[in-house]
Chain A
């Protein structure tokens, strides 16, 4: 029983980090109506940026956020402005532009292979890691400290993003654009600028997720793929465009993955995750917290 609770807690903690990776994806989808296949690669880039920041400056891993967040925001902003926007403009009258999805797939391959070319295929992990293998003991339970911090950072990020979208001028403009592009333009909002900013925010969140992962996860060029597919499942599970849906969806996946192996071979947990994904699609296609209409 004690192992069960321990696994459940660690699953919730890890799941909230999955949720954080899905949060960036869901925000980009909510506003641009584009499935960003490069999102795992952006997470990977975020991990490398964090890794090199920590390695070169000797900062505490979590302090690297002050560098990772602005760098990743700028990276996402420019990526959207330079690579994706022209396609968007060409498909101005399409609500869910399919060719953009193909472009993001191209970005995925280019980023992964560029990283492979520059940094090589080896697995890296941060040296002198102050959080390495750290555990809190509660009775007989062992809780991973970096995962606990990851969970806290994920929740703070989600609350922050929610507050930003609800209460700020730019946040309102982002919501308006997600609900009706043309009406937003007619209210004086430059929709392409909003897309750039949204992509920047989504990428910055991927960077935050990268920072939470580096204290206990290896860094390598294809690391994003592992999180990419989970991200999509979480986004569909939680509801497209829903912020708390992403976090809760992530926690559900994390729980299944960590508690499942107590009852079955761990490969079966994958089957349960995908089964749940299909079930949600059948029963509630808008996801657990998705709205019927739009974001």
Chain B
């Protein structure tokens, strides 16, 4: 039984179907990438897993319990943590308060102080700036806070939506290094990225999403060598 098991889900935005009969699974400790172009349904998939949207059909099971109709706060409580696209920080709150709010769920709240120390250790820049308002940070720093806030929730699966979007190449490297560290500590990671090269190199497996359907899946290395992916996503 997979850790997270998605079976045959359909997802709609109003009347528009975005995801078609999609199935996907993630095992404990894996790093899995979902790649695909704009509008392929990647973000919708994450929003559906985290409960911001509900599938019209199909099941999502996590640790052997159905979660497809739970509200987002209960899914966080179970350990699936979604770091949304565009950071979505609490703009007029300090970095520290942003991180503390990340640990709001009861499971994480009891370890809040310790987790905060761990996050500061992994992302020392945040400690230096803990009193600064989130809105005053650069894009790269904001992404670090967003990831830190996700870690504060003590994730069993950390889902990252486009963490490298809009960042300078140097920062992209450091974001991916951070994700590597998180994965090395044993957290399962589901990564949605347009930077296919970076994300597949980091991953164990990958799924290619096209027009709301899984077009291809396999080991990350195999996908990196695949001629279709080279042409469509890597531009080689």
**Which residues from chain A sit less than 8 Å from chain B, CB to CB?**
169, 172-173, 175-176, 179-180, 182-191, 291, 293-295
Contact = CB atoms under 8 A, between A and B. Distances in A.
B73 A173 contact: no
A223 B90 CA distance: 38
Given A189-B101, A190-B73, A176 B90 contact: yes
Nearest to A167: B97
B92 A187 contact: no
Contacts, number: 78
B208 interface: no
Contacts of A185: 51-52, 71-73, 76
Given A293-B135, A294-B91, A294-B92, A184 B101 contact: yes
Interface residues of B, number: 29
Contacts of B88: 180, 182-183, 186
Given A185-B72, A189-B73, A189-B101, A291 B84 contact: no
A294 B91 CA distance: 8
Nearest to B104: A188
Given A182-B52, A186-B82, A175 B77 contact: no
Contact of A173 (B71, B82, B92, B104): B104
Interface string B100-138: 111011001100000000000000000000000001000
Contacts of A186: 50, 52, 72, 76, 81-84, 88
B97 A187 contact: no
B90 A183 contact: yes
12 contacts: A173-B101, A175-B93, A176-B90, A176-B93, A185-B76, A187-B105, A188-B108, A188-B153, A291-B92, A293-B91, A293-B92, A295-B92
B175 interface: no
B89 interface: yes
Contact of B149 (A172, A179, A182, A187): A187
A183 B73 CA distance: 10
A185 B80 CA distance: 12
